[in-house]
Structure 1
Amino acid sequence: MARIAIVTGGTRGIGKAICLALKEDGHTVVANYGGNDDAAKRFSDDTGIPAVKFDVGDHQSVLDGCKQVASEHGYVDIVVNNAGITRDGTLHKMSWDDWNEVMRINLGGCFNMAKACFPGMRERGWGRIVNIGSINGQAGQYGQVNYAAAKSGIHGFTKALAQEGARSGVTVNAIAPGYIDTDMVAAVPPQVLEKIVAKIPVGRLGQAEEIARGVRFLVSDEAGFVTGSTMSINGGQHMY
């Protein structure tokens, strides 16, 4: 059955792959983005998927943005919380703004999107929320106390919210990607990236489409008995 889906951070990388996969499955997909208007326009021109701009870390902006999507496309049935940023640095060099901005967007965005869409899902008796966590939220990572804390928080948020939606036909799950071949990972120095890949048992980086396939399953009707789970897609790097 075709549904209405919002994918945050949906115009590039993993988010773009998720949007394309959900569109292929027949859903009406809207991609959220936060700042790059040119990239969003190219995305929409290339894919035919509309993009709506709002800051997922700003509560009122999210409420207004989701209301706009509902008025233009219909009630939101599927939310994929993919938007995220990094502000890496060891604790003694990390500013409050570095900490707060990562928490505001990466974790706060999940809360804001749920506040906007979860009540309607419960009322209608069907909904799917998939939160994109991280291997570094499971295992930790040097120089990422902010990012690891936010992503770990997403995993706990997922388990708690799943319990609130279960009897109303709303499932809430997470995916914890490992190192995926995206622009974010491409920015890692080559010598560091080589060491990372050496620790991945399958011997390569993941592809964004492999994360999208996990999302496709979790938002399907067939996944109705799966909730509160974290799917690790990391090539065996961290078996959690």
Structure 2
Amino acid sequence: MNSNKGPVLITGASRGIGKAIAEVFAKNGYNLYLCCKNSIESLNEFSEKLSTMYKITSHAFQCDVSDENSVISLFISIMDKCGQSPEIVINNAGIAWYGLLTDMTSDEWHKVMSTNLDSVFHVCKNAVPYMVRNGHGKIINISSVWGNVGASCEVAYSASKGGVNSFTKALAKELAPSGIQVNAISCGVIDTEMNRSHLSEENLNELASEIPADRIGTPEEVGEFAVSLASSPSYLTGQIITIDGGWI
């Protein structure tokens, strides 16, 4: 690795918030480990672009973070290829499901939970031993305001993000004596492909009118916030910090 900061492991880095977070960290001189489940070709291209544009070192990995064995293999690959464990972990991978709870199948429920919550467990379980050994580390979990207050027709998503919030607070207490920070970013309405897949332009405009900032947020703003959180004082831990334009 070169002399830049990091490395930072970002899950779900091929699109949306994860992709924006990756670029903002690269712009700020952090080396990167980027992973995604399916879009490895486009992630490789994006990783190479960041390396060239920002003079950092970036590596792309394919990993299904909802699967324990896949995450174990990810960390083996990171150490084999790069020789350095991540100093910062950003658990961003996530999916949504919209509709009535009574219309949701058990398989759909488990898919949301495994992608949004189990993944955080798998990644942290594998990253933490390295951080403890090194005596430092930062974990940032990307959550949602629905994890705080719940959303109609998004029961599984809300439950998974509520789990992420409780996981964050509990793990922060467990790891504070080891000098490791654990915090979460609770996002409001962000302009992502995931939101645009089920919300029309009219829906988004209606939502924006309910937000005191009078607009929806950008993935880049979440990225900037993540970078600031990554450089925050070590005494800041166990916090679920909301970025929502004053909405909730």
1:56 aligns with 65
CA deviations on 1:120-155 (whole Å, 9 max, x unpaired) are 101210000000000111121111111000001000
Q: Does 1:90 align with 2:118?
A: no
Q: Is the 8 A contact 1:176 1:230 kept in 2?
A: yes
Alignment of 1:4-153 (within 5 A): 4-48=7-51, 49-73=58-82, 74-153=84-163
> Under a length normalisation based on structure 1, what TM-score does the superposition of the two structures give?
0.94
Q: 1-side partners of 2:31 and 2:67: how far apart? A: 24
1:218 aligns with 229
Amino acid at match of 1:142: S
Counterpart pick for 2:201 among 187, 190, 197: 190
What secondary structure, in the 3-state scheme, does the structure 1 residue paired with 2:176 have?
helix
Q: 1-side partners of 2:151 and 2:201: how far apart? A: 18
Q: Is the 8 A contact 1:217 1:223 kept in 2?
A: no
Amino acid at match of 1:190: E
- Superposition deviation, residue 194 in structure 1: 2.4
- Superposition deviation, residue 57 in structure 1: 0.3
Q: Is the 8 A contact 2:139 2:181 kept in 1?
A: yes
CA deviations on 1:63-111 (whole Å, 9 max, x unpaired) are 1102211222212111000000112211110111111100001000100
Q: Does 1:204 align with 2:215?
A: yes
2:54 aligns with none
Q: Is the 8 A contact 2:7 2:88 kept in 1?
A: yes
**Change over 3 Å in CA distance of 1:141–1:213 after alignment to 2:** same
Q: Is the 8 A contact 1:11 1:51 kept in 2?
A: no
- Superposition deviation, residue 46 in structure 1: 3.0
- Superposition deviation, residue 31 in structure 1: 0.9
CA deviations on 1:164-188 (whole Å, 9 max, x unpaired) are 1101110000000111111112221
- Superposition deviation, residue 190 in structure 1: 2.6
Q: 2-side partners of 1:163 and 1:78: how far apart? A: 17
Q: 2-side partners of 1:118 and 1:132: how far apart? A: 17
Cα RMSD of the aligned pairs, angstroms, is: 1.4
Name whichever of 57-66 and 180-189 sits farther off.
180-189
Name whichever of 106-115 and 17-26 sits farther off.
17-26
Name whichever of 47-56 and 99-108 sits farther off.
47-56
Which structure 2 segments of 5+ residues have no match? Answer: 52-57
Alignment of 1:226-237 (within 5 A): 226-237=236-247
Percent of residue pairs identical: 35
CA deviations on 1:46-68 (whole Å, 9 max, x unpaired) are 32332100100000110110221
- Superposition deviation, residue 38 in structure 1: 3.9
Number of aligned residue pairs: 237
Counterpart pick for 2:168 among 158, 162, 166: 158
What secondary structure, in the 3-state scheme, does the structure 1 residue paired with 2:214 have?
coil
Name whichever of 167-176 and 24-33 sits farther off.
24-33
Q: 2-side partners of 1:96 and 1:224: how far apart? A: 40
